[in-house]
Each structure stands twice: as structure tokens, then as C-alpha cells.
Structure 1
Amino acid sequence: MELHQLQILRELHALGSVTAVAEALRVTPSAVSQQLAALQRNFRTPLTRKEGRTLALTPAGEVLAAAGADAIDAMAAARNALDDFEGADAGTVSISGFHSVGQALFGPLLRELSSSDAPTVQLTDEDVAQSEFPGLTARYDLVLAHRMEHSEPWPTQGVRSLTLVREPLDVAVATTHVLADRASLSPEDVAEERWVTSRVGYSPDDVLRAVSAVANRPIRIQHRINDYGAVSAVVAAGGVLGMLPRFTSRSVDDRDIVRIPLQGVSTHRMIDLLARPENLRRRSVRLVVEALERVMVRLRDAAS
């Protein structure tokens, strides 16, 4: 039994298919299957089972995957002890972020890490539904993720999470709209309006579902757009309301719109950092986490 075989088993549990594991680890599906077969030869109890065309873990496989995650973390602790002793802070850290947080944080983060001895970062935008963020930790050192405050917490097996900010979503209306001079709005105030919102599985759509439930009325959705700059432009044109995050959508043009807090429903989303435990052992990764925390504090304070 070898450590990389345990890593493959863990990734299969996290990602759900041999193909996804191969893509995350940058190997062929055949190589993944061969390593799983080699691992299985160490045990009498089956570790995997077929579910249709996919390969899933048995209860025994899940137990071994969890133990393997602990072993990988312990190995990372040993490997990085010397880095800490030597004060090594260089290295490359890969980061994925959903679109709005990337627009808000990526530029300031690069400036924050502009010194010659700072870690190098590799940035990628990954705008996925909430349920897909944990799986991205197989491909990136740090994953910027969002979830609604009232939704299920992130999984804890093999993933660590750190909250950067609790961010409200505000109602966006055109400056010419009859509601534009209101200090706050309730679900009853906006339930009869037409809306531009996100696709299903993203924060604005979750808020509108709550508005519909509280007001006991169906929401009239005219447009589904995930890009907040486009949402702002559509709202400014008149005829629809939108939802905009208070801190991470400040790059959009606010000249022709007004942002108004929504009361009476939960509108807060959590912006979290997700990572594999062994990655957080690396000094370079921890330095980037600290830089992201500083950038987010400044962004929050500027918008408050």
C-alpha cells in the first residue's frame, strides 16, 4: 500500500468518477484503475463497487479513504516542518475563484504579493454551483467558494474551510424606479416585480426563493444572468430588479442603479476558502491565505 494509492482512493470518494480523478491528478483513467487494483490486492474486503457506469467506494473504501487523508496530512506535516524551520515562504500557490470574487480580489491580491520574496500565485476562474466547490480542492491549493448562510456547511472529510467574509446581497434597482428612494425593502415590497437573477444553484436565485416563500407569491424571473456587470446593466435599463453582493460586485457601474438592503429574509452568503489539509501545512499557502484575509478586510471596509 502506497501513499499515492490512498490519494487516488480519496479523490475517487471526493470526485465520484475515475475520469474526474484522472483529470484532477493529470494521469490517464487507465493509470487510476491500475493503482486502485494494486491497492485492492492488499485487502480482502472490496474497496469499490460498480454503480452503473461509475465506480463508487464501499463502506470499507470510505473508511480507508478517510484514514488515507489523515496519512497524507501527516506526511505533509513532516515534509513542511523543514520549510517552517528554514523560513521558506517562496513557492507557487494555485487559486481558483468564482467570477465576482475574482474580479474583486485577484488584482489586489497580486499587488499584496508583489514583493520579491512573496509566493507566486496562479489564478483561475471557476464559476460553479455551490455543491461543486469542494471537488475543486483536488485541482487547486486554495478554492474561493460561496454558500448561503443557511445552507449546509462544507464537508469536513478531507477539506478544511475558512470564512473570509459574511456578505449580504442587496436589491439593485434603476435610479428611475419607484423604489429607488427607499432605505430598505421587504419581500412584500418586491415580490410583484420582474427580476434578473442568477442560474439555479447560485446565491441570488437562493435569495429570491426565500423572498417567494416569505411573501407567498411566485417570483417573475425575466432574465437569468450570472455576471454581475451584465446584471447591473440590465437593471439600469429599467423594468427589472436584481440582486448584487455588497462587497464583491463594486467593480460594476453604479451610476444608474441604487442598491437597497433587503429585510425579512436571509440574504447573507459566506465567502470561504476551501483547501486540502495538507496544502494548508505549506508556509507559502498560509502566507497567501493571510494576504487574502487582508485584502478582504479592506474590501469590506471600503463598501461599509
Structure 2
Amino acid sequence: MNERQLRILRELGESGSVTATAEALLMTPSAVSQQLRLLQRSIRVPLTERDGRRLVLTDAGQVLAGAAIEVEIALARARHSMEEFVDQPDARVAVAAFHSAAAAFFPLLLGQAAPKGPRLSLSDEDVAQEHFPRLTRDYDLVLAHRLDRAPLWPATLTARTLLREPLDIALPADHPLATERQLTPRDVADQPWITVDDGFPLMATVDAIATAANRRLDIVHRINDFTVAAEVVAAGGGLALMPRWTTRPHPALVLKPLRGVHARRHIDVLHRPERAARRAVRRVLTALDRAAAAIRSRDAQA
């Protein structure tokens, strides 16, 4: 039993014939008859009977046709509720981001918030690259990062790149290498290093530096939070790889471009395709695009 079959039964009771039912529902008479046979299979008592050349409803058929009206009302209410939900401009939108993206994007999103705009629910989620897609089950939008040449996100998700951000070498302002315009893997390979945990995107670039310099790096600290890593670098704890635009400026640090390896990451926004059907989610996606443009323009003005 389904909505279509109940609608056919109801129309048959009102129109009085299979032909008239087919015309009213823009179907063929054979299709109407087929659906009625399928409906009858799920009901233990006859729903229709012959009255001369006409097919009419039995008492049981009339009861079910009356119930079909209630089904139509309930479905209409459900559709209306869904339309309101989808089109609601001030609905709640849950956004998750890894730490440095959260620090860069969340204040800009909140700064763009309108009184009748989406109600943001912000969370920080610092996970390994392979785990970002899972977060789309719990959040409407997920800010994730991957290296420029890393595998793409699963095809079941919608992904859009907000930023293609260079990765620089962070070192103390008084470090001997701080006066160089650019650094190479050989320049930095003999220094102590602060890196992220294995499985996080930046580790692939750290490994590329070691490969290009043909030596194993001396990794002395593993710190995922760039704010904490910056303090350790400033204190002389080692060099670190840091994103150019989303790293919070530190007065005792300098960032130097790295040449000789491909050092850039994507900041992507991920979501399940159906989430973008909601008006509020689309508005936050637009706000993220504006925030990304603001982050890029700050670098151009620096």
C-alpha cells in the first residue's frame, strides 16, 4: 500500500470508473487497473466490485478511500513543514572546522551574521584527514584541509575549495635563517623540528622536505595546535611548517617561503549534497566564500 495507490482508490470512488480515474490522474486505464490489483494484494477483503460495466468500491474500499483523505492531509502537512524547514532563513546551521581554519573563519562568519540570518553553531574538530568526511554526518558544513596533491574527497560529498594556502617555515625572528628571502629543504633539514601527529595533512610536506634534503629530520615535538606550536618555535624549540594566511601572527616569529618542494594546502568546505537544499546552509556557504576572500585580501595588503 502506498500513497499513489490510495489516491487512485479515492479517485475511483469519486469518479465512478477506471477510465474517468485514469483521465483525472493523467494515467492510462491499464496503469490504474495494475495499481488497484497491487493494492488489493495487501488487503484481505475485496476493495472493488463490478456493478454492471462499472467498477465500484465495496464497503471496505469506501473505508480505505476515506482513510486516504486523511493520508493526503497528513502528507500535505508534512510537505508544508518540510518546505518551511528548507526555506527557513534563520535556521540553525552547524559548522565544524579544524583549529587554524576555525580561528580564521569563525570570527568572520560571526561578523557577517544578520539579525534574521542563520543561527550558527560552531565547533572545532581537529582530526586526521581521512576522518573529515565522517564529520558531515553530524555537521551541516565541515571545513577540512588536504595537501595540494592529496587524493580528492569521496564523490558522495560536495566539496568546494575556499583557499589554496601556502605553507611556510616558521622560525624565531632572531634565527640566523630569518634574514633569508626563501628557504630550501637543505637549509632547514639540520634543524630541530616541531610537527603535527602522523596522519595529519602537513606531515606529507614534512616528509617531502626530508626526502628533498636526503636526510631524516630531527622531530623533537609533536603539536597539532599552531598557536601552541608558534609559542614553542618562538621559545627556540625548533622550526615548524605553518600555513601563511590562517596562522595567527606572532611578534617573535617570521614565516619564510619554502622552495624545492610543493608546499600548499587546500582548505575545503565539505557537506552532504542534501544539506545545500536548505536556504540557511546556502547562506552560510556564501558567507564562507566572502570570508575566504577577506583572508586572501589581508595577505595582499600585508
Q: What TM-score comes out, normalization by structure 1 length?
A: 0.70
Say yes or no: does 1:299 pair with 2:298.
no
Paired residue type of 1:220: D
- CA drift of 1:204 comes to 2.9
**Secondary structure, aligned partner of 1:286:** helix
- CA drift of 1:82 comes to 4.4
Paired residue type of 1:89: P
- CA drift of 1:88 comes to 4.0
Measured against aligned partners, the alpha-carbon deviations of 1:97-148 in whole angstroms (never above 9, x if no partner) come to 11111111111111111x2121111111110000000011011100110011
Say yes or no: does 1:128 pair with 2:113.
no
Runs (4+) of structure 1 exceeding 3 A deviation are: 78-84
Tell me which of 171, 185, 188 is aligned to 1:187: 185
Tell me which of 223, 229, 235 is aligned to 1:231: 229
Conserved 8 A contact 1:169-1:246: yes
Measured against aligned partners, the alpha-carbon deviations of 1:18-75 in whole angstroms (never above 9, x if no partner) come to xxxxxxxxxxxxxxxxxxxxxxxxxxxxxxxxxxxxxxxxxxxxxxxxxxxxxxxxxx
Say yes or no: does 1:204 pair with 2:206.
no
**Secondary structure, aligned partner of 2:103:** helix
| Inter-CA distance 87–154: structure 2 relative to 1 (3 Å threshold) | closer
**Secondary structure, aligned partner of 1:162:** strand
Say yes or no: does 1:265 pair with 2:273.
no
Total equivalences in the alignment: 224
5+ long unaligned stretches in structure 1: 3-77
* Distance in 2 separating the partners of 1:154 and 1:81: 29
| Inter-CA distance 221–297: structure 2 relative to 1 (3 Å threshold) | same
**Secondary structure, aligned partner of 1:263:** coil
Q: What's the counterpart of residue 68 of structure 2?
A: none
Q: What's the counterpart of residue 251 of structure 2?
A: 255
- CA drift of 1:296 comes to 1.4
**Secondary structure, aligned partner of 2:228:** helix
* Distance in 1 separating the partners of 2:80 and 2:141: 19
Give the greater-gyration-radius structure (CA).
Answer: 2
- CA drift of 1:96 comes to 0.7
Q: What's the counterpart of residue 240 of structure 2?
A: 242
- CA drift of 1:87 comes to 6.1
Conserved 8 A contact 1:80-1:282: no
Q: How does 1:283-294 map to 2 (within 5 A)?
A: 283-294=279-290
**Secondary structure, aligned partner of 2:177:** coil
Q: What's the counterpart of residue 147 of structure 1?
A: 146
**Secondary structure, aligned partner of 1:179:** helix
* Distance in 2 separating the partners of 1:190 and 1:270: 24
Q: What's the counterpart of residue 90 of structure 2?
A: 90
Paired residue type of 2:286: E
- CA drift of 1:189 comes to 1.1
* Distance in 2 separating the partners of 1:245 and 1:203: 12
Paired residue type of 1:228: F
Measured against aligned partners, the alpha-carbon deviations of 1:127-185 in whole angstroms (never above 9, x if no partner) come to 0000000011011100110011111100112x110110101111011111110001111
- CA drift of 1:93 comes to 0.5
Paired residue type of 1:261: P
Q: What's the counterpart of residue 116 of structure 1?
A: 115
Conserved 8 A contact 2:96-2:139: yes
Conserved 8 A contact 2:87-2:278: no
Q: What's the counterpart of residue 169 of structure 1?
A: 167
* Distance in 1 separating the partners of 2:265 and 2:80: 36
- CA drift of 1:193 comes to 1.1
- CA drift of 1:81 comes to 9.2
- CA drift of 1:205 comes to 1.9
**Secondary structure, aligned partner of 1:138:** coil
5+ long unaligned stretches in structure 2: 3-78
**Secondary structure, aligned partner of 1:292:** helix
- CA drift of 1:239 comes to 4.7
Conserved 8 A contact 1:184-1:262: yes
* Distance in 1 separating the partners of 2:242 and 2:80: 43
Conserved 8 A contact 1:196-1:225: yes
